[in-house]
Structure formats: C-alpha cells, structure tokens
C-alpha cells in the first residue's frame, strides 16, 4: 500500500487555523491514494513553556517527570489534528507514543528508538482508517514510562516511521521552503537546493543548519529514507522543497554545495606542553570525562621533534569547543595540571571565534578546494586561526566579527548562487 509520512513542525501547527491548513495538505495526499502517517510537533513555543514549568518547579528535576510533562505538547496537537481530519471527512485516529508503541531506551530526555512494531497501526489501516496521527518526540521506556527524544526529536520520529513502514517518502513540513546553500539571513544570494545528499545534509545539520535534527538525517541515511523539506505555508507539489537523498540520485553535484557556520565557538591553547607520548591523552582524557565536546584539535610540530636526542622537546596544543563549555574545559585542564598529570606554561582562551565550513561530496574527487577557500578568505583579510578537514568538509576558526563576511565571500568564491 502506498504510504507517506508527513511531519508538521511547531510553527505549522501553531494554532487551530494552521492545523486546519496542515490537515488540508494531508487530505490532498489521501485523495491521491496514499495512506498517511502524520507526525506532529507541539504548537510552537509549547515545549519551551513546559520545560520552563519543570525547571521552575524543581531545579534538580526527576528526568522521568520532565518527560511526562514535556511530551504532553505533542499529545494536544495529535488529537486536534485527528479531529480536524475527521471534520473534513478523512478517517483518522491519533496515537501517543506508548500506544503505538514507540519503544525507546530509558535515557530520559534523550531516548533512542529500540523498535516500532507495525501491528497496531496496520490493524487500524485495515479497518479503513486512512491516516494515523502520531505524537512526535516521544516514546515509552522498557519500564513503561514516557520518554522524549531530545529537542527537535519529531524529525527523528518521522524518519523512524518512514523506515519502519517503508514509506515512499518522508515529507518534513516547516516554516522554510527548503534547504539553502547557506543561511539566507546572512547571505542574500543563498539559493534553495533541489536536492542534497545525505552526507552533505548530515554535515550541514551538525554544523548548525537548524532545519533538521541531526539524528533524523543519520537515520534517514542508514535506512535510505527519502526525506523532503518543504514549506507548510505555500502551495506545494511533488517537486517542491529540497529532497535529501542518496548521492546516486543527484545527477551533477557541485564540488562545494553549502557553507555552514557556527557562532558560539571557543579556542583554548595550552602553551608549551611536553612533546612526548601520552601528553595528548593526559589532556583530552580529563576533558572527555568532564563532558567537553572537543571539536577541532591542532598540535604544532615542535621544531626539534621528540626523539632520544631531544627528550625535552615542547609544543603547543590547541582545541576548540562550544563557548558555553569553556569554564568546564578550563577547570578540567587546571585540575589535571594541579594533580601533576599535565604540564604547561600558560592557558590561553579565546571566546570570540566562529567556525565557518564548506561542505560538498564533490570534494572527495577534486583537488584545490582548500586553496580556493583560503584565497577567498585572504582576499577579505580574514585571518584563519585553526583549520580542520574531513572527507567532505573544510572548517576554519576565525574571529567572530568576520563570520558574516567569510560566509558571503565563500558563497561567492564557490559560485553557490548558480544552480
Ligand atoms: N516539540 C519538541 C521540541 O520543540 C520536538 C519537536 O518539535 O521536534 O523540541
Ligand atoms: Mg524542528
């Protein structure tokens, strides 16, 4: 049976009128012969309000009760969506996570899927229901308690249902009309892409493009779920939005397909650490234990590398992490120094940096991307502080005040405004 998953984010179900508008899009697909699983978010702002209530009531809250409260926003929109569809003559039924059941781990607040058995929904479809409206973002633990998947988790619910039910496509309806080459608020020339490969979307999502929860892209890539991002505020058809798909589906791909940025980075340098085996481990072990998300790491090569002739060789070690983890990182490093496990002369912290990255699967087979990126930045007099690369991405740390300029310069240099 032809089946679609349609997910509506918070702004798309923000009030009764918008729920009706979304329901009309669902009815259209039913009229075209599809069974539909609708995944809904909470009305926009609702989840924040619920989180606030929990935090005000209990500082060190019980995570099980956090989930019980915070999951409730989606229950409201699921019921209202089913009612609206019924009013339109579409046979629809709502489902909370535990009713499906959406089985998850018991990691409250950031649970992961374990299984989504099809039997209950399939039985309802067999009875004549055309639409199952499922509350996103939630599930049930092995202990039988309500869980949530982490903020933005409804995207991941949608992809998981598309995989479990073999949906033809997973359409993510949101308040933007697709995925852009970069943030249109920063770069006026940003262009909506028709298609983007899973790997690229994964890099862009984890680098800060906020359209999709990163885990939803990971899941889509693993199960080859064709994922489409499109606007719920426009008239849309099969060609609207941006399709996130396997790279084989993308006929001609550019070397670089997008520019991403992340504003809230910090750079920390341990000046003059010993250059000998075990030093990196002595630094990054305590950082990991302290829960610091270390991103880029640079270790200079000391002029006289460590060997038997140069037992006293020294170097500098630099790493980056989110700016709100700087205090934690400093404490971990200083504690390790006090305990004698690492030795350094000075700790230099720079909290005014941003990360700008170019992403593209074409980089795998093309040389010269880094050179082009660096020359574009040089032409704008932007100094590069740290460079990091992966197979399909090059990232640089720069002064935050040049972030917008760098994004625009790179967008121009790689001619991303052209399709
Ligand atoms: N309502 C939840 C949130 O705001 C989940 C979602 O909308 O994806 O994080
Ligand atoms: Mg979202």
Hey, how many other C-beta atoms are within 10 angstroms of the C-beta on 333? 23
Using the Cα atoms of residue 80, residue 83, residue 87 and residue 92 in order, give the sign of their dihedral. Answer: positive
Token duo for residue 139: 């599930």
Token duo for residue 358: 């170019």
Q: Taking residues 176-202, what's their average pLDDT? A: 93
Å from CA of 155 to ligand 1 middle: 8
- So what's the pLDDT on residue 146? 98
List the single range of 115-119, 206-210, 337-341 with lowest mean pLDDT.
Answer: 206-210
Q: How far is it, in rounded angstroms, from Cα 266 to Cα 77? A: 39
Å from CA of 327 to ligand 1 middle: 29
Is residue 68 within 8 Å of 140, Cβ to Cβ? Answer: no
- Give the tens place of pLDDT for each residue, 64-75: 999 999 999 999
Give the DSSP H or E segment for 197: strand 195-197
Q: Taking residues 342-365, what's their average pLDDT? A: 95
- Give the tens place of pLDDT for each residue, 313-349: 889 999 999 999 999 999 999 999 999 999 999 999 9
SS3 158: helix
Q: How far is it, in rounded angstroms, from Cα 338 to Cα 401? A: 35
Q: Helix axis angle, 403-413 relative to 369-379, nearest 10°? A: 130
Q: How far is it, in rounded angstroms, from Cα 302 to Cα 289? A: 28
Is residue 269 within 8 Å of 353, Cβ to Cβ? Answer: no
What is the best residue among 76, 154, 155, 219 to mutate for testing ligand 1's pocket, by most ligand atoms within 8 Å of CB? 154
pLDDT at 306 over 70: no
Q: What residue's CA is closest to ligand 1, atom 8?
A: 152
What is the best residue among 42, 160, 211 to mutate for testing ligand 1's pocket, by most ligand atoms within 8 Å of CB? 42
101 prior amide bond cis, ω within 30: yes
Å from CA of 213 to ligand 2 middle: 7
Backbone angles phi, psi at 244, to 5 degrees: -95, 120
Q: How far is it, in rounded angstroms, from Cα 217 to Cα 224? A: 10
Q: What residue's CA is closest to ligand 1, atom 5?
A: 152
- Give the tens place of pLDDT for each residue, 366-415: 889 999 999 999 999 999 999 999 999 999 999 999 999 999 999 999 99
- So what's the pLDDT on residue 312? 78
User: Which residue from 179, 182, 99 is spatially nearest to 133, judged by alpha carbons?
Assistant: 99
Å from CA of 296 to ligand 1 middle: 29
Ligand 1 neighbours, Cβ below 6 Å, are 9-10, 41-42, 47, 73, 136-137, 151-155
Å from CA of 150 to ligand 2 middle: 11
Q: Taking residues 229-241, what's their average pLDDT? A: 92
Ligand nearest to the CA of 41: 1
Secondary structure (DSSP) of 34-71: -EEEEEE-PPTTHHHHHHHHHHHH-TT--HHHHHHHHT
Tell which atom from ligand 1 comes closest to the C-alpha of 149: 5
Q: Which domains does the chain possess?
A: 3-175 (3.40.1160.10), 259-413 (3.30.2130.10)
- So what's the pLDDT on residue 311? 74
Ligand nearest to the CA of 40: 1
Q: Which residues contact 35 (CB under 8 A, 6 or more apart)?
A: 1, 2, 3, 4, 125, 130, 131
Ligand nearest to the CA of 172: 2
Instruction: Indicate the pTM of the whole model.
Output: 0.88
Å from CA of 237 to ligand 1 middle: 25
List the single range of 1-5, 139-143, 249-253, 280-284 with lowest mean pLDDT.
Answer: 249-253
List the single range of 162-166, 201-205, 302-306 with lowest mean pLDDT.
Answer: 302-306
Å from CA of 239 to ligand 1 middle: 26
Q: How far is it, in rounded angstroms, from Cα 139 to Cα 64? A: 12
Ligand nearest to the CA of 42: 1
Token duo for residue 278: 């075990």
List the single range of 167-176, 205-214, 310-319 with lowest mean pLDDT.
Answer: 205-214
pLDDT at 99 over 70: yes
Tell which atom from ligand 1 comes closest to the C-alpha of 213: 8
- Give the tens place of pLDDT for each residue, 131-155: 999 999 999 999 999 999 999 999 9
Ligand nearest to the CA of 67: 1
Å from CA of 353 to ligand 1 middle: 29
Tell which atom from ligand 1 comes closest to the C-alpha of 73: 1
SS3 170: strand
Q: What residue's CA is closest to ligand 1, atom 9?
A: 151
């Amino acid at each position: 049976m032809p089946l679609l998953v349609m997910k509506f984010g918070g702004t798309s179900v923000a009030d009764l009128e918008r729920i009706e508008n979304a329901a009309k899009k669902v009815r259209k697909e039913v009229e075209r012969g599809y069974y539909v699983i609708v995944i809904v978010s909470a009305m926009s702002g609702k989840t924040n309000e619920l989180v606030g209530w929990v935090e005000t009531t209990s500082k060190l809250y019980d995570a099980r009760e956090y989930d019980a409260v915070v999951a409730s926003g989606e229950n409201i929109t699921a019921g209202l969506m089913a009612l609206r569809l019924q009013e339109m003559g579409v046979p629809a039924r709502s489902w909370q996570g535990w009713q499906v059941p959406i089985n998850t781990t018991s990691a409250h607040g950031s649970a992961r899927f374990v299984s989504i058995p099809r039997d209950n929904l399939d039985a309802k479809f067999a009875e004549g229901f055309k639409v199952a409206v499922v509350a996103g973002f939630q599930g049930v633990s092995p202990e039988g308690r309500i869980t949530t998947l982490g903020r933005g988790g409804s995207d991941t619910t949608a992809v998981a249902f598309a995989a479990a039910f073999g949906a033809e496509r997973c359409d993510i309806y949101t308040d933007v009309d697709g995925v852009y080459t970069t943030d249109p608020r920063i770069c006026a020339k940003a262009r909506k892409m028709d298609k983007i490969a899973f790997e690229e979307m994964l890099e862009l999502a984890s680098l800060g493009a906020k359209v999709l929860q990163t885990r939803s892209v990971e899941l889509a890539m693993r199960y080859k779920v064709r994922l489409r991002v499109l606007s719920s505020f426009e008239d849309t058809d099969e060609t609207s939005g941006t399709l996130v798909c396997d790279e084989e589906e993308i006929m001609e791909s550019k070397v670089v397909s997008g520019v991403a940025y992340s504003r809230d980075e910090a750079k920390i340098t341990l000046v003059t650490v010993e250059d000998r085996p075990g030093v990196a481990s002595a630094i990054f072990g305590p950082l990991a234990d302290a829960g610091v998300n270390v991103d880029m790491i640079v270790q200079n090569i000391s002029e006289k590398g460590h060997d038997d002739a140069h037992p006293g060789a020294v170097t500098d070690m630099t790493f980056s992490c989110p700016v709100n983890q700087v205090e934690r990182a400093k404490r971990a490093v200083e504690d390790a120094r006090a305990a004698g496990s690492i030795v350094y002369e000075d700790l230099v912290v720079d909290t005014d940096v941003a990360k700008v990255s170019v992403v593209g699967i074409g980089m795998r087979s093309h040389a010269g991307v880094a050179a082009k990126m660096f020359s574009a930045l040089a032409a704008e007099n932007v100094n590069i502080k740290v460079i990091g690369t992966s197979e399909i991405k090059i990232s640089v740390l720069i002064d935050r005040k040049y972030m917008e300029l760098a994004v625009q310069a790179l967008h121009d240099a790689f001619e991303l405004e052209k399709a």
